[in-house]
Amino acid sequence: MRRVLGILLTATLAFSACSPASEAPSDTTPSTTTSVAPAPATPHVGVQLFQWNWKSVARECTDVLGPGKFSFVLLSPAQEHIEGEQWWTSYQPVSYRIESKLGTRTEFHQMVKDCHEVGVKVIADAVINHMAGIDGGTGVAGSAFTHYDYPGLYTEADFHQCATPSGDIENYLDQQEIQECELSNLADLRTGEPAVQQRISAYLDDLLSLGVDGFRIDAAKHLPARDVQAIVDSLDGDPLIVSEVIRGSGEPIQPEDYLDAGSVFAFQFAKDIAGIVPGGAVHRALEIRDGEVPSEQAYTFVTNHDTERNRQTLSYKDPEKYHLANILLLAVPYGTPVLYSGYAFTDRDAGAPQSDGVVTDTECAQPTPTDKPEPGTWLCLHRSYAGLVEWAAVVGDAEPENLWQEGYAVAFDRGDLGLIAINGNSTKAIEPELTTNLPDGTYCDALVPEDCTFEVKDGKVKVTVEPMTAVALHA
């Protein structure tokens, strides 16, 4: 079983002014010097910094993630891709050179070292199911290609040829079609072939040589689980593996199929949280599980780059609900939480702010969670949960105790180390007196650290919780 990473955090909406990123990459020489991130001493929580360039990720590790004791950062794809400003161009590889609109190979390597220096692990987004979905052209680093020919890498024989009229997946109840037909015209690799597996493994090993600690396997549902396992088993070391396998009712492919290769993203958790919060039944968050996926192999989240665009989950466009959902994500003991920070958009295809074909540097301000950003502004939502990260670090894996539930509110201890009270009411504050395992004393609210007015005496504490937020206390 593969390693599981993580560490907890807290969220705001944060926007940015941008300055240009550095020029296009040129160095393609594999690195022989790697850095190793210190093992985190606190519970697992990470953040996905979607479409952040490498220099911005490095700075965020140094200034925020390391000091905030985040365990890991999840990147956007690093390989060369098709040209274009849309975000999804990053998910259409044309070569496995580490050169993209997010930065150069040298910048990528330096980013990994900078993150490791402050104890933050780095998870790369591995697009290995397919190549590009266009007839041909030139990639952002100058590599020429056609739809089924990538010189020095793949030829037409390395791709599936699907029998459906469109060549695309048309029936998600047919496992062979899901895994051998094309996803929106993306050239589908024969990942069961040893030669293809060797080229994919060489690419992932190259990223490992640059110091990455693991991989998100993009579109893993479209690769047979045995192929994922074979590729993972061939890699150097013991990298973390988290597969993207979206659970579909009645479908023949489920997340549990991929647990032998590592962990999976808990899409059902995100959908269930999105269903709970609008109705206010926040106590039900303690009951959420993603099928038969055990906690130690479930990477939980409220939104990601896909779901915020298809509106299957809550997002920054639902400010108060999104804030409450992120609190629930960090409060419950199931899974490894992954927060998300990207950028504002109205056009679902719109890419991150760019200049001359490269993504500009991320600069984050600190607005309130109810601010509504202009399209194209950076969102740094992970920054406002720093106190809750500390709370989670203290409570660790302690199970909920002293459950209190009334109407649209819930409160519970996590062992004798922390207490959290969550108010799902949209208009009404609550003022319960709670039973707690916390020792007698004066406590500060992890979400509002300057509020140190909470007195525990004889196992009781009275809290006031405003609508759609929480109070979190810890020893």
Confidence of residue 41 (pLDDT cuts 50, 70, 90): very low
When pLDDT is averaged across residues 59-77 and rounded to a whole number, the result is 95
Whole-prediction pTM: 0.90
**Are 110 and 34 a contacting pair, CB within 8 Å?**
no
The pLDDT assigned to 387 comes to 86
Per-chain mean pLDDT for the chain: 91
Q: Enumerate residues 6+ apart whose C-beta is below 8 A from 323.
A: 11, 369, 468, 469
The pLDDT assigned to 208 comes to 99
Q: How many CB atoms lie within 10 A of CB 290?
A: 25
Please give the CATH number for the structural domain made up of 46-394.
3.20.20.80
**Domain boundary assignment for the chain:** 46-394, 398-474
Q: Enumerate residues 6+ apart whose C-beta is below 8 A from 13.
A: 316, 319, 367, 368, 369, 370, 371, 373, 379, 380, 381, 384
Nearest alpha carbon to residue 209 among 31, 26, 29: 31
Whole-angstrom Cα distance, residue 121 to residue 22?
Answer: 24
Q: Are strands 460-462 and 454-456 parallel, antiparallel or unpaired?
A: unpaired
Query: With helix as H, strand as E and coil as C, how does 406-445 read?
Result: ECCEEEEEECCCEEEEEECCCCCCECCEEECCCCCEEECC
**Are 141 and 82 a contacting pair, CB within 8 Å?**
no
pLDDT at 16 over 50: no
DSSP state of 346: S
Crossing angle (nearest 10°) for helices 319-331 and 267-276: 120
When pLDDT is averaged across residues 14-33 and rounded to a whole number, the result is 34
Q: How many CB atoms lie within 10 A of CB 353?
A: 23
When pLDDT is averaged across residues 404-408 and rounded to a whole number, the result is 96
**Are 245 and 272 a contacting pair, CB within 8 Å?**
no
Query: Quick check: do 46-394 and 398-474 share a fold?
Result: no
Whole-angstrom Cα distance, residue 261 to residue 243?
Answer: 8
| Active site positions, annotated | 218, 244
**Are 263 and 311 a contacting pair, CB within 8 Å?**
no
Whole-angstrom Cα distance, residue 182 to residue 170?
Answer: 9
When pLDDT is averaged across residues 424-443 and rounded to a whole number, the result is 98
Q: Enumerate residues 6+ apart whose C-beta is below 8 A from 194.
A: none
| The architecture CATH gives domain 398-474 | Sandwich (2.60)
pLDDT digits (tens, 9 = 90+) for 384-401: 888 887 888 788 889 999
The pLDDT assigned to 20 comes to 28
